[in-house]
Amino acid sequence: MQEIRRNLPVDEQLAILERGVVDLVTRDDLRRKLERSRETGEPLRVKLGADPTRPDLHLGHAVILRKMRQFQDLGHKVIMLIGDFTAMIGDPSGKSKTRPPLTLEETRANARSYLDQCKLVLRDDPEVLEIRYNGEWLEPMGYADVIRLASRYTVARIMERDDFKKRFEGGVPIAVHELLYPLTQGYDSVALRSDVELGGTDQLFNNLVGRALQRDDGQEPQVVMTLPLLVGLDGVEKMSKSLGNYIGLTDEPHLMFAGLMKVPDPLLENYLTLLTDLPRERTLELLAGHPVAAHRELAREVVAWLHPDADPGAAEARFRSVAKGGIPENIPTVTVPASELNPEGKISMARLAVLAGFEPSLGAARKLIQNRGLRLDGEPYLEPQGTLTLEGGGAVIQKGKDRFARLVPGS
């Protein structure tokens, strides 16, 4: 783990913190805050708000988490703000329709998993990490408090938001609670007295509201920094689990390596800049060479970062083996109990796919087979209703390019 560098010159801090940033409001404010922090020894309070609507994270989330880690490495305190209360409203940013609300219990359950994964990137040290929930100050607010908050911003300014504007002009309903979301998120910055707020480019408006509310409250306005939304492996949409174009933050090293080798060539510069610490000169050198070499270095860097105890060379060797049509040596073994077999001693291939953890149900497994997504001992398996007799050393089934399981008969 890199040492905390509290006394790094401000210009060097700025160079680190500006890498990959899209919006910086304002650079002068950030410089002034960094200079004051260096003089007084008082760390900046750097806020990232997250509504835990889903419990799992991917490399798109890691882009902002890396920026938080950079602030930590410079001796500043990052505040991971879990929007357990605002998640019940549902952030309308970039949404074309009202998002279904979650219960407070659902958001807090998601938050536990969310935080565990964030700590794969962040320093888990109370000196540089503070975890807060905005339910602390939002839940006790009464109706009069909400009215007073709403009086501090105009409808005209709220409607400047592009997604609200498009929905209004298109006749798509906008619920009143959605209009309150930017104010509610902005109030978090007031409650936390944040110096800097991070977010994706889709959060610029919300974060600027926080800056305005702080000024109105007599606080020094926070600096707003946004980072790009990482485009997924399809090369079109932002990385998203729902779109299937993602690499999970907790993926095994070989799966992560294989996923990064699939990054579309036009996105290599973006991935190298946002997900590695490679110097700009090295990035340009890689981009000028063969794309496979750039993919390989990207994959090695990211796997080494997120799996410091793993061997990136082993992940690469497995990738090469699978790419050549081979079956890796170290794959999970699943013992199939005799109770799973029919009277003829056979078991359906769909059931084997479920037992291997490839699919959650028989219906999904049959669909996988029907779509030519399953292999048996290296060969495509095309019979959704087919069965297999397990003998001796068992059989190896494969989903996609790099998910394997060895099925062996049990007693």
Binding-site annotation, residues for ATP: 241
In contact, 225 and 23? CB cutoff 8 Å: yes
- Which residues are 238's β-sheet partners? 231
Q: What are phi and psi of 376, to 5 degrees?
A: -120, 120
Which H helix or E strand runs over 398? strand 395-399
Please enumerate, by residue number, every residue annotated as part of a binding site: 241
What is d(CA 159, CA 185) in angstroms, rounded to the nearest whole number?
A: 16
In contact, 121 and 62? CB cutoff 8 Å: yes
In contact, 64 and 116? CB cutoff 8 Å: no
DSSP classification of residue 152: T
The 3-state DSSP class for residue 166 equals helix
Instruction: Give the largest Cα separation in the chain, rounded.
Output: 79
Tokens for 112, please give them.
């536990």
- Which residues are 404's β-sheet partners? 398
The 3-state DSSP class for residue 35 equals helix
Tokens for 73, please give them.
């490495």
Tokens for 362, please give them.
């028989």
Tokens for 235, please give them.
């090369």
For residue 404, give the amino acid letter.
Answer: F
DSSP classification of residue 238: B
> For residue 355, which of 384, 332, 373, 329 has the smallest C-alpha distance?
332
Instruction: Give DSSP secondary structure letters for 90-131.
Output: ---TT-SSPPPP--HHHHHHHHHHHHHHHTTTS---TTTEEE
User: CA distances (Å), 70 to each of 132, 367, 399, in order?
Assistant: 20, 44, 38
Tokens for 265, please give them.
């060539």
Tokens for 295, please give them.
């993919």
What is d(CA 271, CA 289) in angstroms, rounded to the nearest whole number?
A: 16
| Residues listed for the chain | 411
